[in-house]
Structure 1
């Protein structure tokens, strides 16, 4: 086994998982602060360890048993950096056009990212057949098999956007891609035929439309083009002059920024957008309260990814007050917001901070019958599978993946992040558990 020349958070976390220690246990083993070890877990290779910690980890690695060394090598080699990081682009709208007539872009940067994803699709990283047509529509590339797009009646356009949102939340991603590929080209002519309040209504719908585009592109791993879609959602929301549309677009922008590594900007955006929505509307409607709470949850996750535990907890507390004000688990303005949704985010935050045991404890408290959306329920079980994998409970991790597949088959087949969990389970487990993982992966179409 090759020695570790420089320990970063990524290698340190791989050793912790290979030893099957919790963050607290690993901190005690090294004589380090728990917060320090949690930072290694959340920030990965962005953190280079101090000299004394480098020496301590050298010693732990040298004394490790052969099975620990084998697991460490598997975890160390796995790709956790993300295949699209080099094409993500900056957090600002540098790659977006300035067309005042509505969202749309045909910049060279967009085309490069589209071509990159086409190559990735061919290699199996984004296996949905509808991804490339959507990207063609997103960068305004002509499609010979399609006629020129025509304007849709406003009611039809609103219905189709809502259908795309519903299909996304049901994890029917192939259907979503088909819907979006037709809707994106129809946006410009639909907007050009609208005037006054109707045009602002189209802009609000466009904000929702690009929100779905960004969300599904994040699912398949194209973080660069997801950021482009998020920028268009933000421009459309601003053009609509609808404070809820503007706040909703900030949700997908926060998610896209986080996925591209801009966690501090994402936290700041979520916090500012939530504050602006509260100030402008006084949160007088259920939509306003739900979007406000959902923004705080996105901000809490961003804070956790920056190892800012205090801010994450403060935003969770404020979101909890918003959920109490709302009074039910709903799906207002497509947020899925409510007390149960807060608990789902707490599971993810614990996992982000490296607390796999805490994540499992919280997951056991979730009332599954109150999760109405397939996407949220599947994501919960994916988080549980990841927590069990970190904890060394591989058979339980496989069980969680099986439940996620029963809830939403496309959630497992389409997400590179889920495929990595399955690959980790196959690489780290042994005997009948490994055979079961491989059989499951092959049966559902996950490469391992």
Structure 2
């Protein structure tokens, strides 16, 4: 019979899913508060239930049917990250990656760079249907090598902008192709820059590394994303542009979260937003948009720590920034505005375990104002996760199908999507389970 020595939130969530219970039903079954069970669901192996809950979970497992225990073992085997138990988890390697990060711009032939290259290739193999990122890594760690013609500053600027556009459109294969060309072009463009072009090149470098980090987070390599985020912040600092510095703090905040450093992410987002306000008085639309996007990122990090007060305070601050901006735009590639704040309220409600609230807010989102494919797909992924957490599997599958229609590459490469598809295929019954398995197969998602 399956046994657990020490229960984690991840194990408890696996048992809940094996029993095919909603968060509310499982809480009642255990005699626990709903918020407690929601916290297990959102924080996974980062939280340990209290001793009395450990005993209650032991009892529920002991009384489970053989079918439930079999499902429980299967769910534990893949874990919440979708990787086999015993495989390296993103947060487990975070300290090592951060430690190496301090000298991340050392020579491309260093042992540290070689190890990072091997790690990234290994991670790419482990992500089902993920784009091939090995060429990107070669370009990242060999930036001075280029077989093509050198790009002029205007060409480089347009190419970085195109990479941003493709990323927001979820065209990740095209983004990777662009980045493989752009990374080796960066140093020649820097060398040829003169006068006021130099800080502008550093801003472009910060944007370029921002895209690289974002793609790496998409395909499930947070350690390498932290390395590229550090390079983005370094380039932004060289530019002395306060908006660029704050924009680079966004990818660093995101990378910290990807490595399990949510508390540091909240602090960084808050401090960077304060600095931007102090340095610019938010006198431009770019400054307002980046400020709002920063506090939204901090709100998500706070929610992941189950810090509702901070999360909602930051959401309220983002609402004030959106009101000040006055429109839904894409200034400085933020996609920021009142609608974007609403999308984050959906995600934060889900993160806090309030699936019903997440769905209620999602119904209020004016879809015609969500013009970026990445944001629209993320909304439907959140709705799919909420319905799945709520036990409404048919609705969850429908939302996942819609997300796929919006952005197929987003669905194929994101580990969170693969986890939701796997949950649907395992937890649903009858025709919904058959449909979920068929959808995963057609979408190229490995269950």
What is the TM-score with the length of structure 1 in the denominator?
Answer: 0.92
The match for 2:313 is 314
The structural deviation recorded for 1:68 is: 4.8
Contact 1:104 1:232 in 2 (8 A): no
1:95 corresponds, among 87, 101, 105, to 101
The structural deviation recorded for 1:223 is: 1.2
2:284 maps to 1:285? yes
Closer/same/farther in 2, CA of residues 106 and 34 from structure 1, 3 Å limit: farther
Closer/same/farther in 2, CA of residues 122 and 43 from structure 1, 3 Å limit: closer
Closer/same/farther in 2, CA of residues 199 and 178 from structure 1, 3 Å limit: same
Closer/same/farther in 2, CA of residues 229 and 105 from structure 1, 3 Å limit: farther
The match for 1:219 is 218
The match for 1:139 is 141
1:8-61 Cα distance to aligned partner (Å, 9 max, x none)? 111222233444555455445434344433332332212222221111222333
| Number of residue pairs matched by the alignment | 441
The structural deviation recorded for 1:108 is: 2.8
Separation in structure 2 between the aligned mates of residue 62 and residue 239 of structure 1, nearest angstrom: 60
The structural deviation recorded for 1:114 is: 2.0
The structural deviation recorded for 1:96 is: 4.5
The match for 2:384 is 385
Separation in structure 1 between the aligned mates of residue 354 and residue 70 of structure 2, nearest angstrom: 23
The match for 1:174 is 173
SS at match of 2:130: coil
The structural deviation recorded for 1:196 is: 2.9
Separation in structure 1 between the aligned mates of residue 352 and residue 118 of structure 2, nearest angstrom: 35
2:36 maps to 1:30? no
Q: How does 1:331-410 map to 2 (within 5 A)?
A: 331-410=330-409
Contact 2:144 2:185 in 1 (8 A): no
Contact 1:170 1:375 in 2 (8 A): yes
The structural deviation recorded for 1:73 is: 3.5
SS at match of 1:196: coil
Closer/same/farther in 2, CA of residues 79 and 59 from structure 1, 3 Å limit: closer
The structural deviation recorded for 1:190 is: 0.5
Separation in structure 2 between the aligned mates of residue 227 and residue 62 of structure 1, nearest angstrom: 42
Q: CA RMSD in A?
A: 2.3
Separation in structure 1 between the aligned mates of residue 110 and residue 317 of structure 2, nearest angstrom: 40
The match for 1:16 is 16
Separation in structure 2 between the aligned mates of residue 157 and residue 120 of structure 1, nearest angstrom: 29
The match for 1:44 is 44
Separation in structure 2 between the aligned mates of residue 416 and residue 396 of structure 1, nearest angstrom: 20
The structural deviation recorded for 1:87 is: 4.2
Separation in structure 2 between the aligned mates of residue 327 and residue 104 of structure 1, nearest angstrom: 46
1:313-342 Cα distance to aligned partner (Å, 9 max, x none)? 110010010011111111111001111111
2:254 maps to 1:252? no
1:230-274 Cα distance to aligned partner (Å, 9 max, x none)? 000000000000001000000000000100111101111001000
Closer/same/farther in 2, CA of residues 358 and 92 from structure 1, 3 Å limit: same
Q: Which segments of 5 or more consecutive residues in structure 2 lack a partner in the other structure?
A: none
1:136-169 Cα distance to aligned partner (Å, 9 max, x none)? 01111787xx51x654222111111000000000
2:115 corresponds, among 105, 112, 117, to 112
Separation in structure 2 between the aligned mates of residue 76 and residue 271 of structure 1, nearest angstrom: 36
Task: Out of 3-12 and 275-284, give the one that drifted further.
Answer: 3-12
Separation in structure 1 between the aligned mates of residue 151 and residue 144 of structure 2, nearest angstrom: 19
1:121 corresponds, among 120, 124, 130, to 124
Closer/same/farther in 2, CA of residues 313 and 134 from structure 1, 3 Å limit: same
Contact 2:10 2:41 in 1 (8 A): yes
The structural deviation recorded for 1:91 is: 7.2
The structural deviation recorded for 1:366 is: 1.3
Separation in structure 2 between the aligned mates of residue 280 and residue 121 of structure 1, nearest angstrom: 40
Separation in structure 1 between the aligned mates of residue 12 and residue 44 of structure 2, nearest angstrom: 8
Separation in structure 2 between the aligned mates of residue 309 and residue 255 of structure 1, nearest angstrom: 19
Q: Which segments of 5 or more consecutive residues in structure 1 lack a partner in the other structure?
A: none
Contact 1:87 1:113 in 2 (8 A): no
Closer/same/farther in 2, CA of residues 213 and 273 from structure 1, 3 Å limit: same
Separation in structure 2 between the aligned mates of residue 327 and residue 17 of structure 1, nearest angstrom: 43
The structural deviation recorded for 1:116 is: 2.5
Contact 1:88 1:260 in 2 (8 A): yes
Separation in structure 2 between the aligned mates of residue 322 and residue 123 of structure 1, nearest angstrom: 40
The match for 2:197 is 198
SS at match of 2:196: helix
The structural deviation recorded for 1:356 is: 1.9
What is the TM-score with the length of structure 2 in the denominator?
Answer: 0.92
The match for 2:161 is 162
Separation in structure 2 between the aligned mates of residue 37 and residue 236 of structure 1, nearest angstrom: 43
Separation in structure 2 between the aligned mates of residue 229 and residue 171 of structure 1, nearest angstrom: 20
Closer/same/farther in 2, CA of residues 36 and 428 from structure 1, 3 Å limit: closer
